[in-house]
Amino acid sequence: MEFVKEFAIFLHQKGIIKFGDFTLASGKKSSYYIDLRLVPSYPHEFRKMVKYLENQITQNIGLDEFDSIVSVPTGGLIIASALATETIKPLIYVRSKPKDYGTSKSVEGKIYDGMKTIIIDDVATTGGSVVNAIKSLKDVNISVKDAYVIINRMEGADEALSKLDVKMHSILNILQITETLHEQNLIDNSILEKVKNQIGK
């Protein structure tokens, strides 16, 4: 849990997580905003995050249980790339929509029938982008059993993925982050309550 605590404090100190009133890409209102695209600007913390993710995958499922790492663009791509380098695993990625030129592929990289993969993304809210990626992979006969995200916003992604027989894992979730920051007196009760209300806890 030491990493979780340090990482939560780092996210807050560097303004990677902000609290207030925000509108998300989906149009949904949120009491906080997370921009994990800022993490690679801090290489030491980024590498710690990737190594922690690698350790979690090794302990949970084992590196021999999958052939390739799949990224959900674009948030997951830099994390998946670093992870692929660390684990010496091939990297493929799923386009949000097939390109309308060349080969018109929706899955990029070396693939083959029956390939076993794990999916990587940065943040999961309802799980929509990961669900779309899983469907694209299934269309080309690639199997997925596990998806890993850095932060679970706890707004339905677990349930959406379980309907597709995919287990979602996360390094930390928004409740852990806000409770850690509250314990460290970095946020007050009102912020913690707003987040709890948002996720229905």
Give the model confidence (pLDDT) of 20-62 as tens digits: 999 887 788 899 999 999 999 999 999 999 999 999 999 999 9
pLDDT for the residue numbered 25: 74
**Percent of the chain at pLDDT above 90?**
80
Q: Please enumerate in sequence order all residues whose Cβ is within 8 A of that of 147, keeping only pairs 6 or more positions apart, or say none.
A: 118, 119, 120, 121, 124, 130, 134, 161, 166, 167, 168, 169
Rounded CA gap, 127 and 107, in Å?
Answer: 19
d(CA 169, CA 146): 7
Secondary structure letter of residue 27 according to DSSP: S
Strands (E) across the chain are located at 17-23, 29-34, 68-71, 91-94, 107-108, 116-124, 143-152, 167-173
Cα–Cα distance, 173 to 17 (Å, whole number) = 12
Residue 123's pLDDT is what?
Answer: 94
Q: Which pLDDT score, from 0 to 100, does residue 26 have?
A: 73
Q: Is-above-0.75 flag for pTM?
A: yes
Residue 137, burial from CB neighbour count under 10 angstroms (0-12, 13-18, 19+): buried
Residue 41 is classified by DSSP as: G
Q: Is the pLDDT of residue 99 over 60?
A: no
Q: Report the b/e string of 102-121 with b at 16+ CB within 10 A.
A: eeeebbbeebeeebebbbbb
Query: Do the beta carbons of residue 93 and residue 70 sit within 8 Å?
Result: yes
Mean pLDDT across the stretch 164-174?
96
User: Would the CA dihedral through 151, 154, 160, 166 be positive or negative?
Assistant: positive
Q: pLDDT-derived band of residue 74, with 50, 70 and 90 as boundaries?
A: confident
Give the CB-side neighbour count of residue 10, counting CA atoms within 13 A. Answer: 18
Instruction: Indicate the pLDDT class of residue 198, thresholds 50, 70 and 90.
Output: very high
pLDDT band at 154 (very low <50, low <70, confident <90, very high): very high
pLDDT at 100: 56
Residue 3 reports pLDDT greater than 70? yes
pLDDT at 188: 94
Q: Give the CATH number, domain containing residue 106.
A: 3.40.50.2020
**What is the predicted pLDDT for the residue at 148?**
97
Domain count, the chain: 1
Asked whether residue 101 carries a pLDDT value surpassing 90, the answer given is no
Given a cut of 70, whether residue 104 has pLDDT beyond it is no
What's residue 121's pLDDT?
Answer: 95
Give the residue numbers spanning the domain of 56: 2-198
C-beta of residue 61 within 8 angstroms of C-beta of residue 69 = no
Residues 6+ apart with CB under 8 A from 107: 92, 93, 94, 95, 136, 137, 140, 142
